[in-house]
């Protein structure tokens, strides 16, 4: 490790490491008894001409036209493209872009009929699958339905089996409904026979019977020729508050 020497211990000879001043530069040496010259006072500047200041507008009023006309030409690197180059761009495949015109993918992606057929086919398949699952779960003859894989390989046989299961299910429901109605009719007939056997034909529910008018009073009214006249119904007066309600 090298030790640094203090500056005051070095000889006072001309130091080679100090940069020498050029002879052109002047140095002013002042004794301690002399006074420093006073700095000269700055000359007063001439009064500047008054700049007209416009009044601040109440709102922003854009100018009617700019300093220069707008350049509406399209900026592109290179000269204008020829018709052959423009036609070649339409058939060129660019990455991450739609397929060019004249290709199969361009026709497939822009054909509405293809998309309609695909959409209707998918929806019909989902509806048919849901219908078969519901029929297998709810019908008594759901075990007769084929498996989903058989529906793909044998579609006509599957459709024929589905119609047969629907017919059997409809016949079974009709038979159950007919039997239920027959039981109700038989129950009503048995209750009628029971009421006849116990003399309860004129008795209502809970032992109540219909009220009959006395025959003597009815014959007397017919002989006298009395006719019932409807009396006009008097409207109930409603008390109003302040003449409004």
Q: Which residue in this structure is represented by tokens 């998309």?
A: 115
DSSP state, residue 102:
T
Write down the pTM of the prediction. Answer: 0.42
Long-range CB contact pairs, 155-161, < 8 A, 24+: none
Q: What is the pLDDT along the chain (245 residues), one digit of tens a residue?
A: 566 777 777 777 655 555 555 555 555 555 555 666 666 666 666 556 678 888 887 887 777 776 777 777 777 777 888 999 988 888 888 888 889 888 899 999 999 999 999 999 999 989 988 988 898 888 888 888 888 788 788 888 888 999 999 999 999 999 999 999 999 999 999 988 888 888 777 655 555 555 555 556 556 656 665 554 555 566 777 777 766 66
Q: Which residues have CB under 8 Å from 161's CB, separation 6+?
A: 144, 145, 146
Q: Which residues have CB under 8 Å from 98's CB, separation 6+?
A: 106, 109
Structural domain boundaries of the chain?
98-138, 143-199
Closest CA to 166 of 190, 125, 134, 194: 134
Burial of 165 (0-12, 13-18, 19+ CB in 10 A): buried
Query: Using an 8 Å Cβ cutoff, are 141 and 169 in contact?
Result: yes
Q: How far apart are CA 30 and CA 198, in angstroms?
A: 156
């Amino acid at each position: 490790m090298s030790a640094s020497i203090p500056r005051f211990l070095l000889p006072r000879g001309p130091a080679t490491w100090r940069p020498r001043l050029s002879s052109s530069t002047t140095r002013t040496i002042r004794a301690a008894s002399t006074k420093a010259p006073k700095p000269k006072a700055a000359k007063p500047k001439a009064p500047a001409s008054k700049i007209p200041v416009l009044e601040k507008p109440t709102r922003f009023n854009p100018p009617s036209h700019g300093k220069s006309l707008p350049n509406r030409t399209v900026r592109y690197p290179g000269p204008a493209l020829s018709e052959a180059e423009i036609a070649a761009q339409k058939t060129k495949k660019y990455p991450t872009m739609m397929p060019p015109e004249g290709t199969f993918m361009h026709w497939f992606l822009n054909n509405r009929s293809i998309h309609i057929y695909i959409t209707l086919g998918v929806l019909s398949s989902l509806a048919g699958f849901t219908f078969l699952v519901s029929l297998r779960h709810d019908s008594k003859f759901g075990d007769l339905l084929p498996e989903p894989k058989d529906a793909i390989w044998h579609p006509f046989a599957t459709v024929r089996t589905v119609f047969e299961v629907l017919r059997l299910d409809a016949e079974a429901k009709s038979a159950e409904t007919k039997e239920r109605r027959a039981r109700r009719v038989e129950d009503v007939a048995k209750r009628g026979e029971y009421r006849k056997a116990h003399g309860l034909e004129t008795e209502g529910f809970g032992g109540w019977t219909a009220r009959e008018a006395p025959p003597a009073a009815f014959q007397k009214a017919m002989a006298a020729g009395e006719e019932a006249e409807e009396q006009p119904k008097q409207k109930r007066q409603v008390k109003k508050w302040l003449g409004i309600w």
